[in-house]
Amino acid sequence: MATDRDSVLLTALGVLSRQPTAAMDEIARAAGISRATLHRLFPGRDALVHEAGALAMRRMSAALDSAALDQGDPVAAVRRLAEAVIPEANFAAFLTGEGRLFEDDTINDAWEAMDARVAALFLRGQNSGAFRVELPAAWLSEAFFDLLAGVGWAVQEGRLAPATATTR
């Protein structure tokens, strides 16, 4: 886990989520390194965005882990989920915006696994009677990530600073 690569990936994430067509040049300058070293760290643009996506996915998964979705009251779990995941909203925005990433099986599977975990939480809440049952849990999960990406966009455009939760 070289911290250097990760720090470069984080700034790349920031640049690319604002401008998906940003050139390697701009990414390198934003990261404070030269284009040459950027190519030394990552063999090409594809590898860069791929690893950036993987990092974003790892961060989101870690956020889900920290929320302990399968424990305690479902309502409280959803609240924990929101609090844990909203700080990472920009990652969600990047992932949904960079559609090409879902051509990759690894990332696609990871995303579906996340989706399944959130859907399981909603399903648990529905079974326990805490949530409404009009909508399938899978839709609720989908909608949750849509809203999360929306928060990410909103933060990027500067019309949101300290976003908070309140769900359902």
Residue in 11, 14, 35, 147 binding DNA, rule: CB under 7 A: 35
Phi, psi of 71 (to 5 degrees): -125, 140
Residue in 1, 3, 36, 157 binding DNA, rule: CB under 7 A: 36
* E-state strands within the chain: none
Q: Which residues have CB under 8 Å from 114's CB, separation 6+?
A: 57, 60, 61, 64
The least CB distance from residue 18 to a copy of itself, in Å, is: 8
As a residue count, the chain comes to 168
Q: Tell whether residue 4 is a contact of DNA (CB under 7 A).
A: yes
Residue in 6, 7, 20, 46 binding DNA, rule: CB under 7 A: 46
The least CB distance from residue 97 to a copy of itself, in Å, is: 7
Q: Tell whether residue 96 is a contact of a copy of itself (CB under 8 A).
A: yes
Residue in 1, 21, 129, 158 binding a copy of itself, rule: CB under 8 A: 21
Nearer to DNA, 1 or 36 (CB): 36
The least CB distance from residue 100 to DNA, in Å, is: 13
Binding segment (CB under 7 A) for DNA, from list 27-35, 54-62, 72-80, 99-107: 27-35
Q: Tell whether residue 32 is a contact of DNA (CB under 7 A).
A: yes
Question: Binding partner of residue 146 among DNA, a copy of itself, none, CB under 5 to 8 Å per kind?
Answer: a copy of itself
Residue 65's alpha-carbon distances to 14, 62, 69, 103, in angstroms, are 23, 5, 8, 25
In this structure, are residues 85 and 150 in contact, taking their beta carbons and an 8 Å threshold?
A: no
Q: Tell whether residue 134 is a contact of a copy of itself (CB under 8 A).
A: yes
